[in-house]
């Protein structure tokens, strides 16, 4: 298996992009990544997108986006794994280069979510849950994560204030990210008094509906070194699945797919979690970040809330989590999130993160998941 490098990244500002289509959003970011990489020709393209059919009525994205980008007849495909579609696209691109099937692969992620009503967006996102046993009974993702939060609070003593501190931390980080959808700070008081969505979760505990795209260019390590430009290596990749229905889990408080995916990625990289200097994780809700830090092994079970309270996950802490602002502040165009996480890590390892730069960062980890953890993808990156 060949070593794989990231040689180019591209991302534009996320938000409610009324004036742009899905194909335009993707093409802009793909061109930025190709320009950053200094390449024009690709061997193939993989795009993560969760639900373009429901959001904008468009399927067959491989053909559409390759055509609009001007890359035909290069093979192009869309992959889907709910909110971890971007992470899966990265993994598939990684496998393609590592296997020797392709030398240069464009990996992208895209979602256009604001062209539908709130109810329609809720339905589209709900397809990542079990439709017969959860959706049929009215369970939305805020409701599912609220149940996870209540269980965690009951079992481990996690507090409502600790949930709020995740939002405060990530908005502080996001205020330093010019590409974030919500680049502003929030206070504890604002989080705790915001509109109740599903007890105990409030609106400022939830990631937003977002339009956006992100793109990476991958190539073999040999090709990367010939360029004489900075690059970052992907040294570990792991993926795992769990039950789609939360009710079928052994423990509402544990995301087993993330634990297993992380173990696989760390094993491939030959590293321990203590060797990693920054983490971009899937904080679709504040309780998700708390549970993910536990599943990754940053802290023991039940200590995720205390970790954010004590500043362990702040940019200057022992384990900086979501220096980009995370899904909470940066935004969450579901198909693009996993790719954007990788872009943040690459920028950090290249020393290009500006005010949110993690000092001395040499290794980073991304964790992207679908649903309530029915699927998880983890990647580990190292500066060359």
Catalytic (active site) residue 332: yes
Helix segments in the chain, DSSP class H = 22-37, 52-56, 61-69, 85-99, 118-126, 141-156, 160-174, 188-193, 221-226, 256-269, 286-295, 304-309, 326-330, 337-349
Q: How many CB atoms lie within 10 A of CB 256?
A: 17
CB-based contacts of 193, cutoff 8 Å, min separation 6: none
How far is it, in rounded angstroms, from Cα 15 to Cα 4?
31
Backbone region of residue 373 per phi and psi (left: phi > 0; alpha: psi in -120 to 50; beta: other values)? left
Q: Name the β-bridge partners of 213.
A: 110
Q: Name the β-bridge partners of 368.
A: 377
Supply the DSSP symbol for 319: S
Residue given tokens 């915001």 in the structure block = 194
How far is it, in rounded angstroms, from Cα 188 to Cα 6?
38
Q: How many CB atoms lie within 10 A of CB 188?
A: 12
Task: Report the candidate in 154, 138, 147, 133 with the shortest Cα–Cα distance to residue 248.
Answer: 133
Catalytic residue from among 83, 219, 253, 284:
83
Instruction: Tell me if 367 sits within 8 A of 258, measured CB to CB.
Output: yes
Helix segments in 52-187, DSSP class H = 52-56, 61-69, 85-99, 118-126, 141-156, 160-174
What number of residues does the chain have? 384
Catalytic residue from among 152, 282, 332, 379:
332
Catalytic residues: 83, 332
């Amino acid at each position: 298996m060949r070593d794989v490098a990231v040689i180019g990244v591209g991302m534009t500002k996320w938000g409610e992009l009324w004036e742009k289509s899905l194909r335009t959003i993707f093409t802009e970011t793909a061109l930025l990544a190709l320009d950053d990489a200094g390449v024009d020709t690709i061997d193939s393209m993989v795009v993560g997108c969760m639900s373009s059919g429901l959001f904008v009525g468009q399927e067959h994205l491989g053909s559409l986006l390759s055509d609009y980008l001007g890359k035909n007849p290069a093979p192009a495909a869309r992959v889907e794994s709910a909110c971890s579609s971007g992470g899966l696209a990265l993994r598939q691109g990684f496998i393609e280069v590592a296997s020797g099937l392709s030398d240069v692969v464009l990996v992208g992620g895209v979602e256009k979510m604001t062209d539908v009503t709130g109810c329609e967006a809720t339905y589209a996102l709900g397809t990542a849950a079990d439709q017969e046993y959860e959706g049929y009974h009215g369970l939305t993702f805020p409701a599912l994560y609220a149940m996870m939060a209540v269980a965690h609070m009951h079992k481990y003593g996690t507090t409502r204030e600790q949930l709020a501190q995740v939002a405060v931390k990530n908005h502080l980080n996001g205020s330093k990210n010019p590409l974030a959808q919500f680049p502003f700070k929030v206070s504890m008081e604002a989080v705790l008094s915001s509109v109740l969505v599903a007890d105990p979760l409030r609106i400022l505990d939830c990631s937003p509906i977002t339009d956006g795209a992100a793109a990476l260019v991958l190539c073999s390590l040999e090709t990367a070194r010939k360029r004489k430009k900075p690059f970052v290596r992907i040294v570990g990749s792991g993926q795992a699945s769990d039950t789609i229905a939360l009710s079928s889990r052994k423990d509402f408080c544990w995301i087993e797919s993330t634990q297993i995916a992380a173990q696989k990625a760390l094993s491939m990289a030959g590293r321990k979690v203590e060797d990693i200097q920054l983490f971009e994780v899937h904080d679709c809700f504040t309780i998700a970040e708390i549970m993910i830090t536990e599943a990754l092994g940053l802290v023991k079970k039940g200590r995720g809330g205390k970790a954010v309270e004590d500043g362990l996950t702040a940019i200057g802490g022992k384990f900086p989590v979501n220096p980009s602002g995370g899904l909470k502040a940066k935004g969450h165009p579901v198909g693009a999130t996993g790719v954007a996480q990788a872009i943040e890590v690459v920028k950090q390892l290249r020393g290009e993160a500006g005010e949110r730069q993690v000092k001395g960062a040499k290794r980073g980890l991304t964790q992207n998941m679908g649903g309530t953890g029915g699927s998880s993808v983890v990647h580990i990156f190292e500066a060359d």
